[in-house]
Amino acid sequence: MPIPHHPIQLAGIQNYGRLKFNVELFKGEGPYELERKSIVELLNSIPKPYQGNFLLTQDQLALACESMRKRLSEFMAPTSMIQISIFMSNINNWYQYWNTHAKIDVETFNNEEKLSIWCFVFPLYLLYVEMIMSIIPSKKNQPLEKELDYPQEMRKAVHSYQEFKRIMKASPGNLEPRILREKRNSFYFASCIATHRPSSILWHFLEFWLECNYITVWNHIKELNGLHATKRFKSFFNTIFAHGVNTLNQKIAPHLPPQ
């Protein structure tokens, strides 16, 4: 289906500023402080970006991946349905956030899956896209001080989601490449255990998006067989979500248009 525009795009609403998934977002005292300290420690374990920009350079990403391979997983946390339920309990605010900043009517787009066991996958996919774009390198040859065209990048992410679903639903042909066959089999298995291991099906969509749109990054973080991102890379973002979902639900409020 076409990516629906939200009516506020036509009204020319101003940009109220997006969330930045950096240390400052999780610092401070108050509710969920222990969880947020884990995220701060995790974010501080990666190289400091240049010029005060939170995006890593390609070389820094390589160092960060090497660091993650060597680190003990003392505060790593998986993504569970309990945390996803916390995220989904605030989904109307997240829909409004993406309507405002990505200029996409996410709720309408996700309507067909609202009643399925997959109802959480697309919104969670968009949140992870947000996190990943805030931390991984900018696109090749793009200056660090120049921000990506956020609505455009989010629309590309939505298109990648649609395209991956189409490929997975299509009947396999006799001449289908081996790697596509293996991805299809892996996706089918992940869909069968979606409620028990929700991050498994989620990462199939994210990996396809990275491979299509951030090929240099993908080449750094993919496994040797080229099928999936490394466990450390996935654990890094799963941990930010698992420890940070309550904080994110709170911090989103100032980024919404006034009522």
Chain Cα centroid distance, residue 59: 21
| Residue 206 pLDDT grade (very low, low, confident, very high; cuts 50, 70, 90) | very high
Predicted local distance difference test score (pLDDT) of residue 145: 58
Name the least confident of 48-52, 89-93, 106-110.
Answer: 48-52
Kindly state the average pLDDT of the residues 105-130.
81
Check pLDDT > 60 for residue 137: yes
Of the candidates 18, 5, 87, the one whose C-alpha atom is nearest the C-alpha of residue 256 is 18
Check pLDDT > 60 for residue 1: no
Q: pLDDT tens across 138-195, in order?
A: 666 666 556 678 888 899 999 999 999 888 888 776 666 777 788 888 888 777 776 7
Domain residue spans of the chain: 90-253
- Most confident residue range from 61-65, 111-115, 193-197: 193-197
Q: How far apart are CA 96 and CA 87, in angstroms?
A: 14
What percent of the chain is modeled with pLDDT above 90?
19
| Residue 11 pLDDT grade (very low, low, confident, very high; cuts 50, 70, 90) | very low
Q: How far apart are CA 12 and CA 9, in angstroms?
A: 6
| Residue 209 pLDDT grade (very low, low, confident, very high; cuts 50, 70, 90) | very high
Predicted local distance difference test score (pLDDT) of residue 4: 41
Check pLDDT > 90 for residue 88: yes
| Residue 8 pLDDT grade (very low, low, confident, very high; cuts 50, 70, 90) | very low
What secondary structure, in 3-state letters, does the chain show? CCCCCCHHHHCCCCCCCCCCCCHHHHCCCCCCHHHHHHHHHHHHCCCCCHHHCCCCCHHHHHHHHHHHHHCCCCCCCCCCHHHHHHHHCCHHHHHHHHHHHCCCCHHHHCHHHCCCCCCCHHHHHHHHHHHHHHHCCCCCCCCCCCCCCHHHHHHHHHHHHHHHHHHHHCCCCCCCCHHHHHHHHHHHHHHHCCCCCHHHHHHHHHHHHHHHHCHHHHHHHECCCCCCECHHHHHHHHHHHHHHHHHHHHHCHHHCCCC
Predicted local distance difference test score (pLDDT) of residue 114: 62
| Residue 42 pLDDT grade (very low, low, confident, very high; cuts 50, 70, 90) | confident
